[in-house]
Structure 1
Amino acid sequence: MPKYIAIGYGDQAGYDRTPQDIREAAHHHDASLKQRGVMMGIAETPIQVRNPNGSGVLIQTGPYLSSDLPIAGFSIMEAKDINEAIELASKSPCAVAHGVIEIWPLKEQ
């Protein structure tokens, strides 16, 4: 079955202005996704890793990507196709609480 990486972007202000019943439904939805086998995690501080021309490892704390909203979390899910992945992501907290979720099809090697 195809796999998808979902990246959720959102902030506390968007979360707070979302009605509590909608937030609770979104968290219940995420719990059902976990029972389905979706791997989820909350984003912490990233580390950038570089090794230009194999000359030595350089590290830097902080994100490489930038957006209007911070990255809130990640998930890896299986779905029959992109449409099912969209449906699964559309009810999660970042999607309903004024954030956004990117879905990246994962091509396994």
Structure 2
Amino acid sequence: MPTFITIGYGDREGYDRTPEPLRQAAHAHDAHLVAEGVVMGIAGECVQVRNPADAGVVQHRGPFMRSDLPIAGFSVLEAASLEEAIRMASKCPCAIAHGVIEVWPLLRSNETAGTT
């Protein structure tokens, strides 16, 4: 089954202005997804890692990606299609509470070998 990575963006302001029953339903949806095997977590502090020409590891605290909204969390899920993954993500808190969720198909290394 295809695997998808999701990145949820959202802020407290959007969350707080979402009616409580909708927030509760979104959290219940997340709990259902986790019970079904979706790996889900809240974003912690980011560290960028570089190792140019294998000459030494350089670390920088903070994200490389920039967004108007902070990254709130991630998930790894399996779905039969991109459309199904979108349906699954569309009921999660970030999507409901005035944020956004990106859904990325995960192409495994052996699926992309020889495509560069």
State the TM-score bracket (shorter-chain normalisation). over 0.9
Partner of 2:29: 29
Q: Give the Cα–Cα distance (whole angstroms) in 2 for the partners of residues 80 and 54 of structure 1.
A: 38
Consecutive unaligned residues of structure 1, counting only runs of 5 or more, are none
Tell me the SS of whatever aligns to 1:75. Answer: strand
Q: TM-score, normalised by structure 1?
A: 0.99
Tell me the SS of whatever aligns to 1:91. Answer: coil
Tell me the SS of whatever aligns to 1:32. Answer: helix
Partner of 1:50: 50
Partner of 1:88: 88
Partner of 1:106: 106
Deviation at 1:98, TM superposition (A): 0.2
Q: Post-superposition, which runs of at least 4 consecutive aligned residues in structure 1 deviate over 4 A?
A: none
Aligned length: 109
Counterpart code for 1:34? V
Deviation at 1:34, TM superposition (A): 0.3
Counterpart code for 2:5? I
RMSD of equivalent CA atoms: 0.4
Partner of 2:72: 72
Deviation at 1:53, TM superposition (A): 1.1
Partner of 1:19: 19
Deviation at 1:5, TM superposition (A): 0.1
